[in-house]
C-alpha cells in the first residue's frame, strides 16, 4: 500500500498541470509537513492534468503508466493508474494514444522516485478524428460505457450522428467489420476533418412531415403498448445456447469483451422479451395432437430459435436464414446442446417461395417469429404466417432495406410515399421515427388480416429502448379452430 503522508487538500487549476507544477506542489507539501516525500509515497495534495495521451506503459495486469502532454504546454506528466481508476468503464477508451483526457488525482513519487500524478478519476474529453476512434466510441455507447452526449462531445459532432453509428453497430450485432458500419465511421471522420459533421440540414422537409402526418391520420388505427416483462432465464445453465457463444473466435480479447457485454446487457433482455410473448401465443392455441412448429425467419445465428427449442421440447423449431456461415454456427451450437427438435433451412423465404415444405410433421406452421428482421424481411415473415394461418411475432429494423420484398402498393402507398415513411422510420430522432414506425406496423397488420382470412387478434408493442432503439414489434394471434 502507498502511504498518504500529507493532509493538504489544495486542488490545482483545471487548465492542466505540467511536470514543474507537480514538483512545486510536492515541494509545498514537503514544507507543510516538514517531511520530504520519499519514493513510493503519495501526498494528499490534489491536482489534475488536462492534455493528450502520448505514451503508455503497462506494468503487469494492474498498473499502467501514461504520459500526458498538457494542453497548457510543458513537459509530459507521468500518470499512474491502478485499482478502481484502471478498471473504470471509460478508462480503456480514454487512455488510448491521441485521446484528450482530464485526469484528477494526487501528487506523489513512484517507487523509483519519479514525480507522478496518481490518478483517482479519468474523464474522456476528445478522441482523434480517425475511423477507428469513432468505432471505439460507438462501441462504448452501445455497451452503456459512455453516454451519447459524452461521445458526441468527444468527437465534436451532433448526438444524432453517434446514434446513427450505434444503430448500425447494433444491427450488425457488434460486428465492427460490417461494411455499412465502417463506411459510416469513415464518412463521419472525413466530414469532421474538413470541419463539417457538426451542423446538418433538417433530415425531413415540411412536405415530408406533412405527408407522414396525413398517412398516420388515415391508417394508424392501432395504439402502441409498451411491455417490459421478461421471461425468467437461468443464463448460467444455457451452456452452448447462450448468445455469447455465438461470438466469433477470430476476434481479439477486447472485441470479444465488448460483444459479450452487448449480449448480456442488450441481446439477452430482447430474447427474454420475445420468448415470453412467443410462449403466450403458443399457450393460447387450441391443443393439438400433432407437433407444433415455430419458424424463426432471418434467424442469423439462431439465438432466439435455439432458446425456444430448448424451452419447448414438444415444439419443433425451424431456423431459416440465407446466411450459410451463420447457420453453420447455429447448427454447431444446437449439436453441442443436444437439441433434437430443431432444424435449419437455408434459402429465400420471400413471397414466391413462402410455401416451401418444412418437412415431415412440421409442414403446418403455428408461429412465425423474427427478431430484427431487416426491412422487407419483416413483410416476408408476416406473409409466411398469413399463408399458414399462423400467429406472428415480428420485431422490425432497417425499414428501408429489402424494399423489393414488399412493393409499395401492397401497403396501399406509392413508392415515393413508402420511401419517405421508411426513411423516417429509420431516423435516430424518435419524434420522427415513432409515428412512422407505428404507421408501418398498422399497414403491415392490416395486410396480414386481409391475407390470413381467419379471425385474429393483432397488436403493436415496444420493448424498453435501453435494449435497442429498434424496438417496435407487431404481434398477431390467429385462431386455427375457426378455419
Question: Which cell goes with 182?
Answer: 465502417
**Mapped to the 3 state alphabet, what secondary structure does 183-220 carry?**
HHHHHHHHHHHCCCCCCCCCCCCHHHHHHHHHHHHHHC
pLDDT level of residue 87 (50, 70, 90 thresholds): low
Whole-number Å distance between alpha carbons of 282 and 392: 10
Predicted confidence at residue 356, as pLDDT, reads 47
pLDDT level of residue 86 (50, 70, 90 thresholds): low
Within the chain, all domains assigned CATH 3.40.50.150 are found at: 206-482
For residue 20, pLDDT beyond 60: no
Identify the architecture of domain 206-482 in CATH.
3-Layer(aba) Sandwich (3.40)
Within the chain, all domains assigned CATH 2.40.50.140 are found at: 19-126
Contact 452, 385 (CB under 8 A): yes
For residue 281, pLDDT beyond 70: yes
Predicted confidence at residue 358, as pLDDT, reads 53
Whole-number Å distance between alpha carbons of 266 and 258: 12
Pick the more confident residue, 402 or 73. 402
- What percentage of residues in the chain have a pLDDT greater than 90? 45
Whole-number Å distance between alpha carbons of 396 and 426: 11
Whole-number Å distance between alpha carbons of 376 and 295: 17
pLDDT level of residue 88 (50, 70, 90 thresholds): low
For residue 58, pLDDT beyond 50: yes
Fold classified for 19-126: OB fold (Dihydrolipoamide Acetyltransferase, E2P) (2.40.50)
Range in 36-45, 124-133, 165-174, 277-286 the model is least confident about:
36-45
Pick the more confident residue, 43 or 380. 380
Predicted confidence at residue 32, as pLDDT, reads 45
Burial of 221 (0-12, 13-18, 19+ CB in 10 A): exposed
Range in 58-62, 292-296, 462-466 the model is least confident about:
58-62
Predicted confidence at residue 6, as pLDDT, reads 32
Per the listing, cell 448468445 goes with 243
Predicted confidence at residue 393, as pLDDT, reads 98
pLDDT level of residue 9 (50, 70, 90 thresholds): very low
- What percentage of residues in the chain have a pLDDT greater than 70? 84
Report the 10 Å Cβ neighbour count for 204: 18
Strand order in the sheet with 315-321: 224-226, 456-462, 472-478, 391-397, 367-374, 292-297, 315-321, 342-346
Taking only the tens place, the pLDDT of each residue in 333-369 is 999 999 999 999 998 876 444 444 454 444 689 999 9
Contact 110, 95 (CB under 8 A): no
Taking only the tens place, the pLDDT of each residue in 433-482 is 999 999 999 999 999 999 988 778 999 999 999 999 999 999 999 987 66
Question: Which cell goes with 336?
Answer: 453441442
Contact 300, 326 (CB under 8 A): yes
Predicted confidence at residue 472, as pLDDT, reads 97
Instruction: Give me the chain's average pLDDT, please.
Output: 83
Q: For residue 22, what are the CA distances in angstroms to 34, 37, 49, 86, 222? A: 18, 13, 10, 21, 65
**What is the distance of C-alpha 105 from the center of its chain?**
33
Predicted confidence at residue 284, as pLDDT, reads 52
Average pLDDT of span 215-235: 93
Question: Which cell goes with 191?
Answer: 466530414
CA nearest to 50, candidates 117, 100, 7: 100
CA nearest to 262, candidates 243, 241, 236: 243
Predicted confidence at residue 82, as pLDDT, reads 80
Predicted confidence at residue 444, as pLDDT, reads 96
Range in 123-127, 254-258, 404-408 the model is least confident about:
254-258
pLDDT level of residue 63 (50, 70, 90 thresholds): confident
- Cα torsion angle, 191, 192, 193, 196, sign: positive
Whole-number Å distance between alpha carbons of 374 and 398: 5
Amino acid at each position: 500500500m502507498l502511504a498518504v503522508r500529507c493532509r493538504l487538500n489544495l486542488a490545482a487549476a483545471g487548465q492542466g498541470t505540467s511536470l514543474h507544477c507537480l514538483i512545486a506542489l510536492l515541494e509545498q507539501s514537503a514544507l507543510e509537513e516538514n517531511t520530504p516525500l520519499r519514493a513510493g509515497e503519495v501526498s494528499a495534495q490534489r491536482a489534475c492534468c488536462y492534455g493528450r495521451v502520448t505514451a503508455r506503459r503497462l506494468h503487469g495486469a494492474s498498473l499502467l503508466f501514461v504520459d500526458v502532454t498538457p494542453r497548457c504546454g510543458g513537459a509530459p506528466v507521468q500518470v499512474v493508474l491502478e485499482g478502481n481508476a484502471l478498471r473504470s468503464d471509460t478508462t480503456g477508451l480514454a487512455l488510448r494514444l491521441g485521446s484528450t483526457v482530464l485526469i484528477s488525482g494526487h501528487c506523489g513519487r513512484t517507487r523509483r522516485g519519479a514525480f507522478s500524478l496518481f490518478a483517482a478519476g479519468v474523464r474522456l474529453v476528445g478522441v482523434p478524428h480517425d475511423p477507428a476512434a469513432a468505432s471505439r466510441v460507438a462501441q462504448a455507447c452501445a455497451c452503456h460505457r459512455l453516454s451519447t452526449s459524452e461521445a458526441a462531445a468527444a468527437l465534436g459532432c451532433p448526438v444524432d450522428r453517434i446514434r446513427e453509428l450505434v444503430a448500425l453497430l447494433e444491427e450488425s450485432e457488434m460486428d465492427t467489420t460490417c461494411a455499412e458500419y465502417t463506411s459510416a465511421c469513415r464518412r463521419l471522420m472525413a466530414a469532421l476533418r474538413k470541419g463539417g459533421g457538426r451542423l446538418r440540414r433538417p433530415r425531413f422537409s415540411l412536405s415530408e412531415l406533412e405527408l407522414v402526418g396525413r398517412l398516420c391520420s388515415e391508417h394508424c388505427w392501432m395504439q402502441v403498448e409498451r411491455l417490459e416483462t421478461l421471461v425468467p432465464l437461468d443464463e448460467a445453465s444455457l451452456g452452448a445456447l447462450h448468445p455469447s457463444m455465438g461470438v466469433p473466435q477470430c476476434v481479439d480479447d477486447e472485441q470479444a469483451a465488448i460483444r459479450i457485454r452487448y449480449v448480456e446487457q442488450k441481446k439477452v433482455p430482447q430474447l427474454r422479451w420475445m420468448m415470453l410473448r412467443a410462449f403466450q401465443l403458443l399457450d393460447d392455441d387450441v391443443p393439438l395432437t400433432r407437433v407444433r412448429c415455430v419458424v424463426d425467419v432471418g434467424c442469423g445465428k439462431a439465438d432466439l430459435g435455439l432458446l425456444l427449442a430448448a424451452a419447448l421440447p414438444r415444439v419443433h423449431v425451424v431456423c431459416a436464414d440465407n446466411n450459410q456461415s451463420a447457420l453453420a454456427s447455429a447448427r454447431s451450437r444446437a449439436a453441442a446442446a443436444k437439441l433434437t427438435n430443431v432444424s435449419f433451412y437455408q434459402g429465400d423465404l420471400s413471397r414466391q417461395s413462402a410455401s416451401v415444405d418444412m418437412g415431415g410433421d412440421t409442414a403446418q406452421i403455428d408461429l412465425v417469429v423474427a427478431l430484427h428482421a431487416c426491412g422487407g424481411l419483416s413483410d416476408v415473415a408476416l406473409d409466411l404466417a398469413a399463408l399458414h394461418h399462423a400467429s406472428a411475432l415480428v420485431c422490425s429494423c432497417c425499414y428501408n432495406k429489402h424494399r423489393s420484398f414488399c412493393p409499395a402498393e401492397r401497403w396501399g402507398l406509392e413508392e415515393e410515399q413508402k420511401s419517405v415513411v421508411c426513411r423516417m422510420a429509420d431516423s435516430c430522432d424518435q419524434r420522427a421515427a415513432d409515428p412512422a414506425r407505428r404507421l408501418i406496423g398498422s399497414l403491415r397488420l392490416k395486410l396480414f388480416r386481409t391475407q390470413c382470412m381467419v379471425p385474429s387478434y393483432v397488436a403493436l408493442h415496444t420493448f424498453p429502448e435501453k435494449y435497442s432503439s429498434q424496438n417496435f414489434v407487431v404481434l398477431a394471434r390467429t385462431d386455427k379452430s375457426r378455419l
